[in-house]
């Protein structure tokens, strides 16, 4: 039983002191590299006009790289501290010291690999910051997803190296066995592969950009894209909540991107005003004279009255025994023309886009007059204000044409009707 337990060397106090000195030297090297070197680099970068070096400092690239120094000191100095050299050297050591030497060196090498990959991740984050700040294409062509793929590959490679170092084997041995695990890896990284393909398609087809307004009904999301990553797209909804949507959903499911509306400079207004059909009638001579004085209707009324007069005179010259089918102006038709002229003259309508007023099919809720035009201001608040102003004006103008808006009867209407019956 005693033969199975490693025996401490006779000079273990001196070896312990040497190891303690090595630990102090490694700590001092780490302190110097982290504090002094970091300050020197920060001082140099702060004096330059470029900002890319500042991003490297902010992301801690040099700070993480400085963590390699104490591990290198331990890796190189543990042999001298224990009095052990590489196999084939002149210095011989006990089995216990050889095991300790091998274990410490492997742990130091694994730590070096881990620290380097963390520094590489920080470097890629800095590259993403530099790209977003310095290039106008950053919103339309984000590279964050591709950098995340590179980070994932780097961590996988570092994991293989760390396992190989700790096991005392060549990394090639582990890499050669990955072929048999390809199917398993495909299953494990299925979402990553789908997200990578989706990111490539989104970037190549310019489907979404940071800052776009998107509506994703399946996710209950409607707002602005604030981040496009490998696996997810973050959308800040208009109620300030944030929806996190898988990237591949933008390929497999439908969504609406309002970028085209913003870039065109026009936002559509498509709303109907329902009128009571019982208020539709022909205009009287007094009403024709009054409406002919309106600025927007002067030309229309003059031309229409002249055309109708000529037509009716020709009809009157026909068979005196037949009542001719004459033409007359209606209040609804004149109002429809007025709405069209009003929109054409309004300074907030987009004159280079479709602008029309049309009458839709009558129904149980009256006859709809639809306004179809575009606002030249796409900002939401301004657009809603302009749309409201249009219909406020049109509703208030209806009595001047002898028209009434249709609305379902309410409680006050029933009370008036009941009072009329009681009277």
pLDDT score at 334: 95
> Considering the chain, what is the average pLDDT of its residues?
82
pLDDT score at 182: 62
Q: Which of 46-50, 68-72, 239-243, 343-347 has the lowest mean pLDDT?
A: 46-50
pLDDT score at 90: 46
380 vs 397, higher pLDDT: 397
Which is nearest to 377 in space by CA: 366, 365, 385, 388? 385
Q: What stretch of H or E contains 375?
A: strand 367-375
179 vs 28, higher pLDDT: 28
Task: Render the burial of 310-344: b for 16+ CB within 10 Å, e for the rest.
Answer: eeeeeeeeeeeeeeeeeeebebbbbbbbbbbbbbe
Provide, rounded to the nearest whole percent, the portion of the chain with pLDDT above 90: 30
pLDDT score at 92: 47
pLDDT score at 91: 47
What sign does the CA torsion over 390, 392, 398, 403 have?
A: positive
Q: Please tell me the distance from the alpha carbon of residue 403 to that of residue 331, in angstroms, as a whole number.
A: 7
pLDDT score at 270: 94
Q: Is the CB of residue 270 less than 8 Å from the CB of residue 387?
A: no
- Give the 3-state secondary structure of residue 150: helix
Q: What average pLDDT does the segment 384-402 reach?
A: 94
pLDDT score at 390: 94
Q: What average pLDDT does the segment 145-165 reach?
A: 81
Show Cβ contacts of residue 175 under 8 Å, excluding neighbours closer than 6 positions. 160
22 vs 370, higher pLDDT: 370
Show Cβ contacts of residue 232 under 8 Å, excluding neighbours closer than 6 positions. 244, 245, 246, 247
> From residue 370, how far is each of 300, 357, 359, 365, 385 by CA, in Å?
20, 6, 6, 14, 18
Q: Is the CB of residue 280 less than 8 Å from the CB of residue 330?
A: yes
Read off the pLDDT of residues 81-108 as tens digits, 9 standing for 90 and up. Answer: 776 665 544 444 566 677 777 888 888 8
Read off the pLDDT of residues 175-224 as tens digits, 9 standing for 90 and up. Answer: 665 655 666 666 767 777 778 778 777 776 778 888 888 999 888 899 99
pLDDT score at 139: 67
pLDDT score at 177: 59
Read off the pLDDT of residues 273-326 as tens digits, 9 standing for 90 and up. Answer: 999 999 999 999 999 999 999 999 999 999 999 999 888 888 777 677 777 788
Read off the pLDDT of residues 95-149 as tens digits, 9 standing for 90 and up. Answer: 667 777 788 888 888 888 888 988 898 888 888 888 877 777 676 677 777 787 7
The distance from CA 274 to its chain's CA centroid, rounded to whole angstroms, is 38
pLDDT at 387 over 60: yes
Highest mean pLDDT range out of 8-12, 349-353, 410-414? 349-353
pLDDT score at 170: 73
Measured from the Cβ of residue 242, the count of other Cβ atoms closer than 10 Å reads: 12
pLDDT score at 305: 92
Packed helices 190-205 and 144-167: angle between N→C axes, nearest 10 degrees: 150
> From residue 335, how far is each of 155, 231, 251, 276 by CA, in Å?
71, 55, 47, 13
Show Cβ contacts of residue 126 under 8 Å, excluding neighbours closer than 6 positions. 52, 55, 56, 58, 59, 61
Q: What is the pTM of this model?
A: 0.56
Highest mean pLDDT range out of 43-47, 83-87, 345-349? 345-349
Q: Is the CB of residue 114 less than 8 Å from the CB of residue 65?
A: no
């Amino acid at each position: 039983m005693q033969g199975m337990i490693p025996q401490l060397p006779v000079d273990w106090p001196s070896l312990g002191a040497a190891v303690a000195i090595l630990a102090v030297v490694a700590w001092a090297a780490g302190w110097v590299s982290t504090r002094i070197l970091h300050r020197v680099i920060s001082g140099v970068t702060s004096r330059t006009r470029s900002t890319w070096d500042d991003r490297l400092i902010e992301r801690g690239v040099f700070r993480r790289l400085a963590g390699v120094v104490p591990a290198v000191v331990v890796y190189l100095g543990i042999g001298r501290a224990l009095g052990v050299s590489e196999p084939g050297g002149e210095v011989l050591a006990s089995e216990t010291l050889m095991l300790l030497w091998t274990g410490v060196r492997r742990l130091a090498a694994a730590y070096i690999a881990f620290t380097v990959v963390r520094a590489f991740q920080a470097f890629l984050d800095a590259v993403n910051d530099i790209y977003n700040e310095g290039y106008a294409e950053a919103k339309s062509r984000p590279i964050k997803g591709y950098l995340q793929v590179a980070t994932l590959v780097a961590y996988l490679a570092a994991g293989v190296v760390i396992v190989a170092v700790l096991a005392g084997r060549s990394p090639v041995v582990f890499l050669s066995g990955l072929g048999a695990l390809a199917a398993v890896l495909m299953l494990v990284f299925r979402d990553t592969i789908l997200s990578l393909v989706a990111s490539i398609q989104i970037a190549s087809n310019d489907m979404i950009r940071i800052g776009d307004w998107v509506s994703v009904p399946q996710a209950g999301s409607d707002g602005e894209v604030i981040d496009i990553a490998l696996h997810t797209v973050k959308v800040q909804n208009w109620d300030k909540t944030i929806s996190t949507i898988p990237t591949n959903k933008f390929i497999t499911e439908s969504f609406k991107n309002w970028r085209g509306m913003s870039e065109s400079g026009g936002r559509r207004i498509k709303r109907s005003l329902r009128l009571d059909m019982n208020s539709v009638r022909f205009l009287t001579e007094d009403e024709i004279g009054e409406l002919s004085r309106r600025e927007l209707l002067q030309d229309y009324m003059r031309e229409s009255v002249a055309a109708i007069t000529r037509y009716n005179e020709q009809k009157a010259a026909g068979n005196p025994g037949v009542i001719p089918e004459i033409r007359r102006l209606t209040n609804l038709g004149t109002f429809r023309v007025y709405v069209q002229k009003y929109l054409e003259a309004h300074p907030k309508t987009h004159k280079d886009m479709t602008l029309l007023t049309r009458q839709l099919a009558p129904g149980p809720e009256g006859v709809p007059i639809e306004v179809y035009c575009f606002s030249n201001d796409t900002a939401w608040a301004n657009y809603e204000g302009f749309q409201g102003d249009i219909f406020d004006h049109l509703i208030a103008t209806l009595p001047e044409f002898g028209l009434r808006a249709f609305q379902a009867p309410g409680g006050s209407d029933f009370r008036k009707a009941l009072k009329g019956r009681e009277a």
